[in-house]
Chain A
């Protein structure tokens, strides 16, 4: 372990160095282990509204909007802008619609505050390894806010279901996510109803034509994306059985909006499919809500899950094509521990293969922006709309991967001429916000390590005409595009 390893600790496993961080990471493995022991920062997020509260506010807004429309119809009034009008649509009607809905404005403001806080913590935390893990799991359990039902739920799901469990047991993380209203709405389980449930039988009697039934969406993604992986050895019948087992896991109906329990999660026994289930050859007695939980606990410690999680983590931190032996060792350590995530992480950071000089990752757009914020002390989070527009323009809009598989995680997905050009433009803009009291060469050494203090980049930084030009050069240099 040497200074090169400190650079790897803060860049490969962290979020890019803040000035001074390289010194803190002088014992790189010890620095990472200490972060795992301390666990996630929960205090920073205390006081934000929980998902149950957000669902209530959203419901109030929807009711007000319906009321609004009824009044429109009654008046036969000139209508306002379509729902799909992009933000900032400039018709007078759109402006009027915006003025009319303070509830909607409040929801937007909350969402921006939530996201701003996420990036403030990322840009300033002293435990960047744990914070990177939060982002990793958030993308592993991706929900995309372009699905209307999940729009308000992504950042809340990260802080409620993911953040508390990132250094705990994977089973707890898995259960917290799969019972979070964000996931239940995004993957339609809130609308999944057992064909032989009381609810479905009652509906058939009352309205024979109305179709209520099983929705396999969440069950499929649990198996394919969240646990076993696509080649994890499950069959379509396992998907159906799991889907039946988790019927009833849902969110409050509008008429239950007053119910204050469970942060927006509700188990509805009337929607649950009765009967025993069989998943991957194991039988689970009908135990209501507990039936699905028992299946998820078993899935969490399945060998295929261990391999899937180990591979994704190694690919995220070490290299696009991580050494298979490293993945195997990580998976084995995880299984030996009975499903402890810290065992998985510790196996990775203890392994010399994870510190190889050959290993490197091309920064995703979000990595790039966060690392520049950390290096330059740039408080872009103070204006969340600007920050979010930048991330979108760079190709990684927050919580909008447009797929339950999340954002991709290899260089081939992010590196292109067009993407690099936008990074260079963003670099120039970011550089303008770094304090001119700093010296570009010092900043380079403090973030990229001592190697950056010599060679062609250092020469160019010395020649820079102004500090701002130097910072722009640093942020747009090839060295700053890689996590090494």
Chain B
């Protein structure tokens, strides 16, 4: 198998260097440190219900608010919280201290529009529309030579802003005939701008074959594809995966059984795909906001504010539940209806970037998360 190579930079080089690469001044390859560490960000679009994934099982308010929707058979974690039974692989990670759920997190946007909340989470500022590019893209731009890969059909806002971020999505069902590739080879060899890309297209076609059967492409397949492109010396250091279908206004129980099963399989696929490099990996699973503390009248939940995040990986100091839990009593709720957010997601992201990727604080609080000096990075997320 050929290493998938990141081509955009080479494309720019082939065009004659018209677009200069912009590096964060003063950030040398040595300063970016720990070059072997890996970060995968998983964005669950649609607002995943954290109270369903990590139910506070012993909380009378929880059972009162959720009624029949309360998760009765959660796998116990720390005596207070449990993990939904479909997350059995994740539960194993927790036992190995490689899973760290963080409760009551949200981006700084506290309204209830999916679009605006995702925009805010991805752009890394305090508001929707606050930037045209994203915090992951700016982070890659701030690192010396590291590259990113987004498993998506369109470059997500989170990863815009760097020339070293590539897109990958599964091939169309119809393979390119070998004979056609052979005929095209001399034609592309004569086009200096497109020749490197054609070489990569050939390599991708080989990888398609090694992927074997084509079928549904959901979160497990996407996370496996990310792992494939994130291991080895030439690989992308930062990955991004997105998933939809988490907006459970109705029939939440059945819908989330399926979705949690996929998330669990995705974590397993990434763990297996990374092999030995799992030890130096962090997976951050986030969503744009939480859902109403109470169940609605159609066995679902509506848009809320406080959500949750999951950190997984060999580098994570897991086996505990992180974040400040505000409780679910009527007075504790945000606007009387939603879990109150106690941690700004930017603090979580900054903590991971600072300790896992060794991004300097100056870059974090000015360029990657503009005007965020007051939002201190969470510490203690990772081992040693």
Contacts and interface: CB of A to CB of B under 8 A. Distances in A.
Interface of A: 69-70, 72-73, 78-86, 89, 91, 93, 146-148, 217, 220-221, 320-321, 362, 392-393, 395-397, 400, 402-405, 411-413, 415-422, 424-426, 428-429, 456-457, 460, 463-465, 469, 472-473, 476-479, 481
28 contacts: A78-B299, A79-B251, A84-B45, A84-B244, A84-B246, A85-B245, A217-B128, A221-B129, A362-B193, A400-B154, A411-B15, A412-B163, A415-B193, A416-B8, A416-B11, A418-B204, A421-B171, A421-B201, A421-B205, A424-B201, A425-B171, A428-B177, A428-B180, A457-B187, A463-B183, A477-B187, A478-B187, A479-B187
B153 A412 contact: no
Nearest to A461: B183
B175 interface: yes
A393 B129 contact: no
A478 B194 contact: yes
Interface in B140-196: 153-157, 163, 166-169, 171-172, 174-177, 179-181, 183-184, 186-188, 190-191, 193-194, 196
Contact of B184 (A69, A83, A395, A476): A476
Contact of A416 (B7, B180, B193): B7
A481 B194 contact: yes
A79 B250 contact: yes
A422 B251 contact: no
B11 A424 contact: no
Nearest to B195: A478
Contacts of B128: 217
A418 B251 contact: no
B172 A429 contact: yes
Interface string B102-114: 0000000000011
Nearest to A321: B18
Interface string B1-40: 0001101100110010011000000000000000000000
Interface residues of B, number: 69
For chain B, what secondary structure do more than half of its interface residues adopt (helix, strand, loop), or is it mixed? Answer: loop
B298 interface: yes
Contacts of B204: 417-418, 421
B126 interface: no
Given A69-B298, A81-B250, 16 more contacts: A82-B246, A82-B252, A82-B300, A84-B245, A217-B128, A393-B169, A412-B19, A415-B7, A420-B194, A420-B197, A420-B201, A421-B171, A429-B174, A457-B187, A460-B187, A469-B179
A403 B186 contact: no
Contacts of B79: none
Q: Which A-B residue pairs are the 4 nearest by beta carbons?
A: A417-B200, A84-B247, A73-B297, A79-B251
A50 to B, nearest CB: 25
B89 interface: no
B180 A456 contact: no
Given A415-B197, A425-B172, A397 B251 contact: no
A70 to B, nearest CB: 8
A415 B166 CA distance: 10
Contacts of A402: 154, 156-157
B248 interface: yes
A403 B153 contact: no
A85 B247 CA distance: 8
A417 B199 contact: yes
